[in-house]
């Protein structure tokens, strides 16, 4: 009879490596990559918001942009 899955899992060592790369190091690298992607996306969103604000200022001027913003927020 085969051993249960739980019995097989008890024989796995705590710190094992695959061709010299520790599992903890691989996870740390993935965390750094995910953080880099999130920061890049935040930068893109920020740049897009700045570009939209500049376009609104160029089209309507400062007072027109403020008036339009208030109309959008208050529902006029």
pLDDT of residue 11: 55
Residue 60 exposed, middle or buried by CB count within 10 Å (0-12, 13-18, 19+):
middle
pLDDT of residue 30: 83
User: What tens digit of pLDDT does each residue of 39-48 get?
Assistant: 999 999 999 9
Note the pTM of the prediction, 2 decimals.
0.55
- Is pLDDT above 60 for 17? no
pLDDT band at 53 (very low <50, low <70, confident <90, very high): very high
Domain positions in the chain: 15-74
- Is pLDDT above 70 for 65? yes
- Is pLDDT above 80 for 25? no
């Amino acid at each position: 009879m085969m051993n249960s899955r739980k019995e097989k899992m008890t024989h796995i060592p705590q710190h094992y490596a695959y061709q010299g790369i520790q599992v903890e190091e691989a996870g740390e690298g993935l965390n750094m990559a995910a953080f880099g992607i999130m920061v890049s996306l935040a930068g893109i969103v920020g740049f897009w918001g700045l570009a939209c604000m500049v376009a609104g200022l160029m089209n309507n001027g400062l007072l027109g942009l403020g008036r339009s913003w208030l109309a959008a927020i208050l529902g006029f």
